[in-house]
Amino acid sequence: MSSDHYIIFDGHLDLAMNAIEWNRDLTWSVAEIRESEQGMSDKPDRAKGTVSLPAMRKGNVFMCMATQIARYVKKSSKLPGWNSPQQAWAMTQAQLAWYKTMEDLGQMTPITDKDSLEIHLEKWENPKGDEPIGYVLSLEGADSMINLDYIEKTYNQGLRAIGPAHYGPGTYAQGTDATGGLGEKGRALLKKMQELNIILDATHLCDDSFWEAMDVYQGPVWASHNNSRSLVPHHRQFSDEQLRELISREAVIGAAFDAWMLVPNWQRGISTPLNTNVTLQLVANHIDHICQLSGNSLHAAIGSDLDGAFGKEQCPSDIDTIADLQKLPAIFEKRGYSEDDIKNILYLNWVNFLRRVW
Which sequence spans correspond to the domains of the chain? Answer: 3-357
The pTM of the full predicted model, rounded to 2 decimals, is: 0.97
Could you give the CA distance from residue 3 to residue 291 in angstroms, rounded to a whole number?
21
Q: How many CB atoms lie within 10 A of CB 285?
A: 17
Res 249: pLDDT:
98
- 3-357 placed in CATH 3.20.20.140: yes
CA distances from 154 to 75, 139, 170, 238 (A): 26, 10, 19, 28
- 9-61 confidence digits (pLDDT tens): 999 999 999 999 999 999 999 999 999 999 999 999 999 999 999 999 999 99
Amino acid 4: pLDDT: 56
CA gap 8, 352 in Å, rounded = 13
Cα(211)–Cα(249) distance, rounded to whole angstroms?
13
Cα distances (Å, whole numbers) of residue 321 to 51, 52, 96, 289, 309: 6, 8, 24, 25, 15
Radius of gyration of the chain, Cα coordinates, nearest whole angstrom: 19
Residues of the chain where predicted confidence (pLDDT) is lower than 70: 1-4
Surface-to-core class of residue 216, CB atoms within 10 Å of its CB (0-12 exposed, 13-18 middle, 19+ buried): middle
Closest CA to 228 of 215, 214, 212, 244: 244
Listed residue (303, 291, 299) closest to 257, CA to CA: 303
Q: For position 3, what pLDDT does the model report?
A: 42
Half-sphere exposure of 161 (CA within 13 A, CB side): 32
Cα separation values, 68 from 43, 212, 228, Å: 19, 24, 25
